[in-house]
Structure 1
Amino acid sequence: ENEVVASMSANVFKVQVAVGDKVIAGQSLIVLEAMKMEIPIESPRDAEVAEILTQKGATVSTGDVLVRLK
């Protein structure tokens, strides 16, 4: 699984990683905000961040690709 997607429609509250970062399974990559709740989007596996496809303040929809891992 190389693509990490939005679990719901929301606003991007925080981007917590940068391209090239090594991440571990369960680490929060992006924090979404919807209905005044913060929803962490976590890495499904140990990996390296290859690409970030969103930014703070962006609006995303369910299924949008947020981060690509390698």
Structure 2
Amino acid sequence: MPPVEPPEEIRAELVASVLEVSATAGVRVAGGQAIVLLESMKMEIPVVSETGGTVVSVAVAVGDVVQSGDLIAVVDAEEAPE
């Protein structure tokens, strides 16, 4: 049995506004797929999942302002699409 990996916590890397939320809890995502789109200093920054899996939760909504280190989403890699 392979080792169990903890869910991936996706966190903001900078202060930004949430422009778009592309995934919701229960949705399967691929590695590199955008979860949310942030805007900072008139630049759009996609925030992606490093691994494929199922989105457990999304902690932001359109219009929210995130700070560096804020939780954006959690992805469970254990249920990765085949």
Does TM, scored on the shorter chain, surpass 0.5?
A: yes
Q: CA deviation at 1:23?
A: 0.3
**Residue 80 (structure 2) aligns with:** none
Superposition pairs of residues 31-70 of structure 1, within 5 angstroms = 31-70=37-76
Q: CA deviation at 1:9?
A: 0.5
The C-alpha deviation readout for 1:13-63, integer Å capped at 9, x for no partner, is 100011111001100000000111100000010110000101000000011
Mapped partners of 1:19, 1:60: distance in 2: 19
**Residue 19 (structure 2) aligns with:** 13
Aligned-residue sequence identity (percent) comes to 33
Q: CA deviation at 1:7?
A: 1.4
Greater strand fraction, Structure 1 or Structure 2: 1
Q: CA RMSD in A?
A: 0.8
Length-normalised TM-score, structure 1: 0.95
The total of aligned residue pairs comes to 70
Gaps (5+ residues) in structure 2?
Answer: 1-6, 77-82
Q: Which runs of 4+ in 1 moved over 2 A?
A: none
Mapped partners of 1:36, 1:2: distance in 2: 28
Q: Which has the larger radius of gyration?
A: 2
Length-normalised TM-score, structure 2: 0.82
